[in-house]
């Protein structure tokens, strides 16, 4: 380092104004940096931005406007949103930042733990929400109808994003390093995808599968977008859709509460020694 100019140190530019940082500014600053990091890594960027849109190509197959194709395409796009930007990328980022002592460093400042977690989860959640919104015009361009209850559809997506973010923090607690995340993420990924396998399973197993987060999200999409009952046997309008979505929303809420408790109890900010 060069020699120090002591006179410059007392310049007006260094005087303290007393202005305090806000929670919003802290989360925004950290989340922006986390988003930049996620997009700079080609793999996580592809996971976040490209992969979830691929299932929408399924809408090109079959008859235009076919409800089943819409449900299948949108549902799998959302499942991939939950699996990658919302869950896996967040898990990987949390474990990496923890092991590199980045989280420990950030905790020495004014940022609270809750703000730190929010800033980690926001890029994935933001991308997820943006993709969920983008899916609407894309699907409509490919022949899908406008969602019956867009608010319900976005509510289901939002709750699922919180749920999978909490699951990512919980998984991070027992994931030794970023490489191990490829294995430790499998149970949650199964929870996300198993919902679409209900038809292939015996009835009793299929009922259990309906209680998984992935199945609940699929049911909300069925009700909120294509205006069908969760079992796809009947149709619903905007007003009826709220009642029909009660059970899947409840399932999501229970999973979210459980995941938040697990994440809160198990969060680790430093690597184990």
Partner 1 sequence: MTNPPTPSGPRGDAGPAVEVRGLRRTYGTGPRAFEAVRGVDLTVARGTVTALLGTNGAGKTSTLEVVEGLARASAGEVRVLGLDPVADRAEVRRRTGVLLQRSGFSGDLTVVETLRMWAATVSDPRGVDESLAMLDLAGRADVRVAGLSGGEQRRLDLAMTLMGRPELVFLDEPSTGLDPESRRGVWLLVEQLVAQGATVLLTTHYLEEAERLAEHVAIMDAGRIVREGTQAEIVAGHPSEIRFETLPVGTATLPDLRGARVSTDGAWTVVRTPDLQATLTALLGWAAAEDVVLPALGARTASLESVFLEVADGTAADTAADPAPTATPTDETLEVVR
What does the binding site for partner 1 look like in residue numbers (CB under 8 A)? 1-6, 8-11, 13-21, 25-26, 28-30, 32-33, 36-37, 40-41, 97, 100-102, 104-112
**Of residues 7 and 233, the one with the C-beta less far from partner 1:** 7
CA dihedral defined by 190, 159, 121, 23, rounded to 10 degrees?
-160
Q: How far apart are CA 154 and CA 136, in angstroms?
A: 11
**Of residues 20 and 204, the one with the C-beta less far from partner 1:** 20
CB of 6 to partner 1, least distance (A): 6
CB of 266 to partner 1, least distance (A): 17
Contact between 221 and 241 under an 8 Å Cβ cutoff? The reply is no
CB of 41 to partner 1, least distance (A): 7
**Residue written as token pair 């697990």:** 262
For residue 263, the tally of other CB atoms under 10 A from its CB is 19
CB of 22 to partner 1, least distance (A): 9
CB of 268 to partner 1, least distance (A): 13
**Of residues 11 and 233, the one with the C-beta less far from partner 1:** 11
**Of residues 37 and 136, the one with the C-beta less far from partner 1:** 37
**Of residues 117 and 167, the one with the C-beta less far from partner 1:** 117
Q: Which of 116, 121, 166, 123 is nearest to 35 (CA)?
A: 123
Q: Which residues contact 239 (CB under 8 A, 6 or more apart)?
A: none
């Amino acid at each position: 380092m060069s020699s120090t100019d002591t006179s410059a140190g007392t310049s007006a530019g260094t005087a303290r104004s007393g202005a305090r940082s806000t929670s919003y500014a802290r989360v925004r600053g950290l989340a922006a940096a986390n988003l930049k990091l996620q997009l700079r890594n080609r793999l996580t960027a592809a996971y976040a931005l490209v992969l979830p849109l691929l299932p929408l190509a399924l809408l090109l197959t079959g008859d235009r406007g076919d409800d089943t194709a819409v449900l299948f395409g949108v549902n799998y796009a959302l499942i991939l949103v939950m699996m990658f930007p919302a869950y896996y990328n967040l898990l990987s980022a949390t474990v990496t930042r923890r092991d590199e002592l980045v989280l420990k460093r950030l905790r020495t400042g004014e940022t609270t733990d809750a703000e730190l977690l929010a800033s980690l989860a926001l890029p994935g959640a933001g991308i997820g929400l943006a993709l969920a919104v983008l899916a609407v015009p894309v699907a409509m361009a490919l022949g899908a109808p406008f969602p019956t209850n867009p608010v319900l559809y976005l509510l289901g997506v939002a709750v699922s994003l919180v749920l999978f973010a909490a699951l990512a923090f919980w998984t991070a607690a027992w994931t030794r390093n970023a490489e191990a995340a490829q294995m430790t993420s499998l149970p949650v990924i199964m929870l996300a995808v198993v919902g679409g396998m209900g038809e292939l399973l015996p009835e009793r197993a299929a009922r259990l599968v309906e209680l998984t987060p992935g199945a609940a999200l699929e049911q909300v999409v069925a009700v909120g977008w294509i205006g069908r009952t969760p079992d796809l046997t009947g149709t619903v309008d905007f007003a009826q859709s709220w009642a029909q979505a009660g059970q899947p929303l409840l399932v999501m809420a229970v999973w979210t509460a459980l995941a938040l408790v697990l994440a809160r109890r198990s969060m680790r900010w430093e690597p184990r020694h």
